[in-house]
Chains A and B, each alone.
Chain A
Amino acid sequence: MVAGHPVIRGIVRLACEGAGLTVGVEAAGLAEAEAALASADAPFTVCVLDLELPDGDGLRLLGRLGEEGRTVPTLVLSERRDGRTVLEVLRRGAAGYLSKPDGLRRVGWGVRRILAGGAAVEPDLERAAIEELGRTARQAREGARLQGRITRRERDVLALMSEGLTMQQIGRRLQISPRTVETHVRKLYRKLGVRTRVQAVSRAAGLGLLELR
């Protein structure tokens, strides 16, 4: 169990005992949880993870729980109810997502569901995640469509634009004249349907055409 607040830890402990489980490890933050994961000799059956931890975002731990072929079924608790976060949590392999504070009543139910190999996501949070998935799919499709229309040179220009280089600098880097750079930029704007450099970069990144470092 990883949760910062003692009250939440208490609720989770009660819920787990109700489900016939003993809480092997209680961590109050990321650092404690990492240490427990590293030194644990017996594999965990289930993990209850609060995303709002005093020393950082619990999402980071979720990423780690998914790595190394070790997937501990995890029930996430969070104040965040937006589709993007819920989908990200599920993407990183969590089996359940309950909101705080309303969902805390359902921790016992969630743990039992997960233990049975099922999923425990609150219906409206699941809805939000599905909408977000739809957005992701549309963006991926749109990105792929543009992908085929943007030339390699335009992509080079885009990458350098995203690093904040001026037209002159981009031209020098690619050994083309500033005029040619401007032509590329104009075509890029048209294809992306934008008017400014910032819009171009943010749109391209959103469509997965550009990896922002």
Chain B
Amino acid sequence: MARRAALVSAPAPAPAPRRRIGVVLVDALPVVRAGLRLLIEDRPDLEVLAEVGDGEGALDQLARTRRSRVVVLVGLGLSGERDAYWVIRTVRERFPSHAILAMGANAEPAAISRALFLGADGFVDKNLDPVEFLQALRAAARGEMVLAAPPSVALGAVARTLDRRRELEVRLTEREREVLEVAAEGLTARQIADRLGVRERTVTTHLARIYGKLGVGNRLSAIRVAARSGLVSVGATE
């Protein structure tokens, strides 16, 4: 009853204030997070929902958020087992409607390509002018693909890396990719075996098959192919 009355007598609803874009900041460096928070909180249409310095924490924060328009900013410098790429992949799986924006400074095309492949909706360079940075953030929230700041030539390089990654996905089995990823950390066959919970013999067999498929003679060359394809990141990305 009360409900019906309300329906009848309610005045025409005022235009709903546009929901603000919620931003979750994930970066290893506290100073970067603080700077971004200052920059973002100054804007009426943006709001920092959380800022975290580790992958696990980022996922915890996101699980608590009940917002629809969310942009997750992920600094590629986040390292460790739950690194930036893990965050990107996991957020993409668990929160398919959130926008994910990777950010880095002087990132290699392979790092950008890897972020995009794993689910990022774009990349922004930390060297960007603050106003353009915010524009990139808003564009990502609108569902646009963003690639801000790296020179346009990098666009071609990123595309080429993606092509190579695709080829690698077709040629190698999931297990072989796993072995190669761990091998790229510089581990011995024995250590790889321990990490993946298989026998050393199995790892060497996988490695031999990987070399064959990639047409290389040794582990270093295999790692180089993997790095060029953005399957692994060798060295710092920031």
Give A residues with C-beta under 8 Å from B: 87, 89-96, 118-121, 126, 129-131, 133-134, 136-137, 140-141, 143-144, 147-148, 208-209
Contacts and interface: CB of A to CB of B under 8 A. Distances in A.
A95 B157 CA distance: 11
B38 interface: no
Interface of B: 113, 116-119, 121-122, 144-147, 151-153, 155-156, 158-160, 162-163, 165-167, 169-170, 174
B156 A134 contact: no
Contacts of B155: 87, 90, 121, 126, 129-130, 133
B117 A208 contact: no
A87 B151 contact: no
Contact of B169 (A89, A137, A140): A140
Contacts of A94: 156
20 contacts: A89-B156, A90-B152, A90-B159, A118-B151, A119-B151, A119-B153, A121-B155, A129-B152, A130-B145, A130-B146, A133-B116, A133-B145, A134-B122, A134-B145, A137-B117, A140-B117, A140-B166, A140-B169, A208-B166, A208-B170
Contacts of A92: 156
Contacts of B122: 130, 134
Contacts of A137: 113, 116-117, 162
Contact of B147 (A118, A130, A136): A130
Closest A-B pairs by Cβ, 5 of them:
A134-B145, A90-B156, A119-B152, A137-B116, A91-B159
A129 B167 CA distance: 21
| Residues of A contacting B: mostly | helix
A118 B153 CA distance: 8
B169 A91 contact: no
Contacts of A148: 174
Nearest to B92: A141
Contact of B160 (A91, A96, A140, A144): A91
Q: By CB atoms of chain A within 10 A, which of B121, B145, B165 has the most?
A: B145
B153 A134 contact: no
Contact of A140 (B152, B156, B165, B174): B165
A34 B75 CA distance: 45
Contacts of B160: 91
A44 to B, nearest CB: 18
Given A140-B165, A140-B169, A144-B169, A134 B151 contact: no
Given A87-B155, A87-B159, A95-B153, 12 more contacts: A89-B156, A92-B156, A119-B152, A129-B155, A130-B146, A130-B155, A131-B144, A134-B116, A140-B166, A144-B169, A147-B169, A208-B170
B4 to A, nearest CB: 44
A133 B156 CA distance: 9
Nearest to A140: B166
Contacts of B147: 130, 133
A118 to B, nearest CB: 6
Nearest to B118: A141
A90 B117 contact: no
Contacts of B166: 140, 143-144, 208
Contacts of B167: 208
A208 B169 contact: yes
Given A133-B145, A140-B169, A93 B121 contact: no
Contacts of B162: 133, 136-137, 140
